Amino acid sequence: MVRYCLFAGAVLLTAMAPVPAADPAAEPQPIAAFETLKLSAEIARAGEKARDPWLMIAAARLRATAEVQPDANAAGRAEDWLARAEALGGDDPRVGSVVADLRAIGFKGRAAGPRVSQELLRGGERRSFTETFKAGRPAVVYIEGDGDTNLTLRVGAACHDIRPGDVKICSWMPTKSEQVTVEIGNSGRVQNRVVLGIN
């Protein structure tokens, strides 16, 4: 928790700074982009557990810097965190002021990054599909739930993660171009809105 609080403080010190625009000529860094998504989700989970509006704000601010382009549904996750920060902040005018300023900055996707979509998994449901990954290029599969249930992730022979939690990432460097079966699963009894990113 101390690590999250220190990080949140650093994020909030720069909360009013504009989000830098992506350099269209720069080579996208998919692993770093998804690691940023993962860290923002983990901070939001810590904020919810501690009922700390500042951690929720820090999570939303960090998500705004991720070099990915979410679709309309997935982009709403940061707004959900800001709304939760307002609820947790109650009548604290400082929370309301920072949230308003962050909304004014906006949460714009980065054109250089991979796209992120959203899947709805029913309780106990598993879903699999095939993706093609190219040799010599970083490959990433990322899932992030809405916090209601545990998720599982299997990516061919590269990863098999059935540990508790609903924020998971699998990254590797394919030695040959190949089709890989990706399976995501909902271990809980209720549905889960899952953000899914594949590079």
| Entry pTM | 0.75
123 and 193 in a common domain: yes
The count of structural domains within the chain is 2
Residue 61 falls inside a structural domain: yes
Residue 130 falls inside a structural domain: yes
CATH of the domain at 165: 2.60.120.380
pLDDT digits (tens, 9 = 90+) for 145-183: 999 999 999 999 999 999 999 999 999 999 999 999 999
Whether the pLDDT of residue 28 is over 70: the answer is: no
More confident residue, 72 or 129: 129
Residue 179 falls inside a structural domain: yes
Q: What are phi and psi of 42, to 5 degrees?
A: -65, -40
What is the structure's pLDDT at 72? Answer: 57
Residue 20 falls inside a structural domain: no
pLDDT digits (tens, 9 = 90+) for 70-123: 665 555 688 899 999 999 999 999 999 999 998 887 665 444 457 688 889 999
157 and 67 in a common domain: no
Residue 171 falls inside a structural domain: yes
> Which residue segment(s) compose the domain that 149 sits in?
116-198
Question: How far apart, in whole angstroms, are the C-alpha atoms of residue 162 and residue 48?
Answer: 23
123 and 186 in a common domain: yes
